Every structure is written in structure tokens, then in C-alpha cells.
């Protein structure tokens, strides 16, 4: 069973991904996030960059469905998500979990490391907040928490460490809890 803290974080993650806040995760949420990114990065509709960006976001949805064992045209409610998260992410098979979080770290860097130096800068991290419509005002604080060696960049290792803590840590003070911004508002 997930602890209350783990559940609150996983519920926050659901709310971050549920872009239109209609209470279910679906393909459109991921497409909307892609469209948001296109606006952010100045990709105009009809261009190759635009299409590639949407494709990539759709790919993220497909990976997510594969991970949850659902067809691509299905949806996931909060309840289904939390049940899945409990069984597969928080208390599941190590190998599957490791594969998923490594993939997620690569995906985040692939998407948001726009200058391709292998690190996430504060500006690039703010893009992530913009893309997912996470409250921007928490981005600097979250960035500082994730940048463990204080060199003003989030390295791949620092990101992976944050992802690990975000998904599994039961420590209220774990820095990685801040990966997707402030999450206490979802406490129950």
C-alpha cells in the first residue's frame, strides 16, 4: 500500500498530466501539452517541427498506455491511476520500474534540454512548468531543490534522483518531491 505522502504525490502527477483537468487522462491531454510546447518554442502549425513535437507527445501517451497495459484510445481515471501507481510504480517489479524511470528521465531531458548540453537549466525547467501548466512561481524553488550540487544545472543523475524520490520516497523532506512543483494542495 502506498503511504499518504506517496499517494498525494502520485495524485499530483495525475493532475499535472490531466491537462484539461477533466478528471481523466487521455490522448488529448498529451496532444494539448504538445501544442503548448509548440507555442512556447515558436513552432508554427504545418511545420515539420510542429508535427514532430505533437508526434513525440502522442508517443509519450502511447508509452504511458503500454506501461499501464491499456489501448491507445482508452482513458484513465484518478482511481485507476492510483491503483496502477500503487501496484506497479511504488510497490511493483524493480526492473519495470527502473526501465520506466530511466525512460522518463531521458524523455524529460530529450524534450526540455533545448540547447542540448545534457543539462536542464532553470530556463529549460521553467519551460517544463509552462508546458504542463504547473504554477510557475514554484519553479525556482523546485529547481534549487533538484540541483543537488548547486552548479545551477540539473544533471541527468540529479534528475533521476529526483524522479526516484518523487515516485517512491516517503520522506516529507525529500527534495525530489518537488519535481513537478508544489503538490501539497492535493493533500487529503
Binding site for Ca ion (CB under 5 A): 18, 20, 22, 29, 113, 115, 117, 119, 147, 149, 151, 153
90 vs 147 by CB, closer to Ca ion: 147
Do the Cβ atoms of 180 and 13 come closer than 8 Å?
yes
- Integer Cα distance of 126 and 175 in angstroms: 17
Nearest approach, Cβ of residue 175 and Ca ion (Å) = 12
Q: How far is CA 186 from CA 10, 136, 168, in A?
A: 10, 17, 17
Helices (H), the chain: 4-17, 27-41, 48-68, 78-84, 94-112, 122-131, 139-146, 156-168
Q: Containing H/E element for 148?
A: none
59 vs 110 by CB, closer to Ca ion: 110
Nearest approach, Cβ of residue 93 and Ca ion (Å) = 28
5 vs 78 by CB, closer to Ca ion: 78
How does DSSP assign 94-126, residue by residue?
HHHHHHHHHHHHHHHHHHH-TT-SSSB-HHHHH
- Integer Cα distance of 67 and 78 in angstroms: 16
Nearest approach, Cβ of residue 94 and Ca ion (Å) = 26
Nearest approach, Cβ of residue 91 and Ca ion (Å) = 26
Nearest approach, Cβ of residue 59 and Ca ion (Å) = 18
27 vs 103 by CB, closer to Ca ion: 27
45 vs 151 by CB, closer to Ca ion: 151
- Integer Cα distance of 85 and 67 in angstroms: 11
Amino acid at each position: 500500500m502506498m503511504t499518504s505522502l506517496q499517494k498525494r504525490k502520485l495524485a499530483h502527477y495525475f493532475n499535472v498530466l490531466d491537462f484539461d483537468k477533466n478528471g481523466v487522462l487521455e490522448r488529448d491531454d498529451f496532444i494539448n501539452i504538445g501544442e503548448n510546447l509548440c507555442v512556447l518554442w515558436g513552432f508554427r502549425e504545418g511545420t515539420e517541427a510542429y508535427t514532430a513535437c505533437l508526434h513525440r507527445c502522442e508517443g509519450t501517451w502511447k508509452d504511458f498506455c503500454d506501461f499501464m497495459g491499456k489501448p491507445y484510445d482508452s482513458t484513465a481515471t484518478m482511481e485507476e491511476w492510483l491503483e496502477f501507481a500503487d501496484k506497479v510504480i511504488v510497490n511493483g517489479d524493480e526492473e519495470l520500474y527502473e526501465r520506466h524511470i530511466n525512460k522518463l528521465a531521458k524523455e524529460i531531458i530529450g524534450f526540455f534540454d533545448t540547447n542540448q548540453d545534457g543539462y536542464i537549466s532553470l530556463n529549460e525547467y521553467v519551460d517544463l512548468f509552462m508546458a504542463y501548466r504547473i504554477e510557475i512561481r514554484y519553479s525556482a524553488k523546485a529547481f534549487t531543490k533538484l540541483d543537488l550540487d548547486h552548479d545551477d544545472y540539473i544533471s541527468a543523475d540529479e534528475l533521476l534522483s529526483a524522479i526516484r524520490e518523487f515516485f517512491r520516497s516517503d520522506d516529507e523532506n525529500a527534495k525530489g518531491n518537488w519535481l513537478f512543483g508544489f503538490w501539497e494542495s492535493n493533500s487529503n
